[in-house]
Structure formats: structure tokens, C-alpha cells
Structure 1
Amino acid sequence: MTLEWEQVIVDAADPAALSRWWAEALGWTVVDGAPGEYEIRPAPDRLPGLLFLAVPDRKVVKNRLHLDFRPDDQEAEVARLLALGARHADVGQGEQSWVTLADPEGNEFCVLAARRS
């Protein structure tokens, strides 16, 4: 059996706005914008994507799944994401080499330190 990773589903109060935020944060493109459902991908023909679905309930606890990103320059990338509307998040991680942020709807993600060569 072969599986292909198609997408990660993200519940959202405003899937259009959140998908646009993530598209800008990642440099991806919106490939599907049906009412209540927006998908972004690295390019229209590249997987996996992020699919944002409208849900009526708000996020209230730490995500059980989150994304990690490894930039070339952690400090610059954190500053860029904060300028886009991310905010620092405390999920009990303590002092670490990564920075935990949350998107505009509170979904946590981590910006890792640059990979050492």
C-alpha cells in the first residue's frame, strides 16, 4: 500500500483570512477558495497543502499537532512572522532553542534554530 500526504486540515473561525495569512507567511499560493474551505500549497501542483475549514467553535487548548519550521535566520524569521500578526505562545516549553509562536487564530507553531552544517 502506498500513501501520499495530501494536506493538513486546520479548523478556523475565518478560513479565508487564516489561509491568506499562512500563504503569506510561507510564500505559498491559494489553490482552492470554496466557501468555508481554502487550500494553500507551495505551488498549485505541489503537495502537501494546508486546508482551512470553517468551524463554529474557538480554539481553547494547546494544539495536539503543530508545525515546525527551520529558517536560515531564526531571529529574522521570527521578527517577520510577528510583523505579519503572529504572537509569542507559551505552551509550557520553557527555555528552548526554538521559538513558539501562534498564528492569528491561536494555532501554535515553532520556528527552529538554523541547522548547523
Structure 2
Amino acid sequence: MTVRLYQIVVDSRDPSALARFWAEALGWRVLLEDPDEVVVGADEDAWPGLVFVPVPEEKAGKNRLHLDLAPGDRAVEVARLEALGAVRVDVGQPADAPWTVLADPEGNEFCVLDPKRSLVA
């Protein structure tokens, strides 16, 4: 069987706004926007992308799946993401963790890694 990861789907109260946050955060662009989904990606041929779909309910509880971002400079990237609307959150990480936990504008947690923890830094 041949299979590949195609898209990561994110439930959202405001798919357009959340897609624009993630497009800016990742340096991607909005590839498709309609009432049922908003797709962001590096380009039309790069997978996976992120798909934001509308749901009526607010996020509840801690994410079971989250994204890890690998920056060149964690402090600089955290500041940039906070300027875009991310906020720091405590999910029980140690104070000296080599990553920073943030939440996007709808409360979805994600991590910004110390470059030494990243395989691509």
C-alpha cells in the first residue's frame, strides 16, 4: 500500500483568520478559501498543508496533537509569533524546557524548539 500524509486538518471557529495566522507564522500562503475550508501551504505541490474547517464549538482541553516549529533563534521566533497573536501557555512543561509552548489565536498549543533540539536547525 502506498500512502502519504496529505493535509493536517484543524477545527476552527474562524477558519479564515486562523489560516491567515498560520500562513504568516510559517511563511506559507492561503492556497484555497471557500466556506467549507481554508487551505494553507508552502505551494500547491508541497505536502502536507494545513486545512482549517469550520466548527461551532470552542476548543476544549489540551491538544492531543500539536506542531513543533524549528527556528534558527527561539527567542526571536517566539517574539515574532507573539506579535502575530500567539500567547505563551503552561501545559506542565518544566521551567527550563528547551522549547516554548505557545497557543495560536484559537488556543491550539504548539512548540517553538531550541535550535539544538531540531534536526533541521
The TM tier, using the shorter chain, reads over 0.9
Moved over 4 A (4+): none
Matched with 2:21 is 21
TM-score by length of 1: 0.96
Query: Which residue in the other structure is 1:60 paired with?
Result: 60
CA RMSD of aligned residues (A): 1.2
Give unpaired runs (5+ residues) of structure 1.
none
> How far apart in 2 are the matches of 1:88 and 1:36?
30
Query: Is 2:2 the counterpart of 1:2?
Result: yes
Q: Which residue of 2 aligns with 1:84?
A: 84
Q: Distance in 1 between matches of 2:23 and 2:44?
A: 12
Tell me if the contact between 1:29 and 1:44 (Cα under 8 Å) persists in the aligned partners. no
> In the TM superposition, what whole-angstrom CA distance separates every residue of 1:15-40 from its partner, at most 9, and x where no partner exists?
00000110011010111101131010
**What's 2:108 paired with?**
107
Residue in structure 2 matched with residue 51 of structure 1 by the alignment: 51
Residues in 1 aligned to 2:19 and 2:107: alpha-carbon distance in whole angstroms:
14
- Gaps of at least 5 residues in structure 2 are none
TM-score (norm 2): 0.93
2:99 maps to: 98
Equivalent pairs: percent with the same residue?
55
**Letter in structure 1 aligned against 2:116:** R
Contact 1:30 1:39 (8 Å CA) reproduced:
yes
Aligned to 2:36: 36
Contact 1:13/1:57, CA 8 A, preserved across alignment:
yes
**In 2, Cα distance between the equivalents of 1:36 and 1:76?**
34
Supply the distance in 2 between the matched residues of 1:103 and 1:3 (Cα, whole angstroms). 30
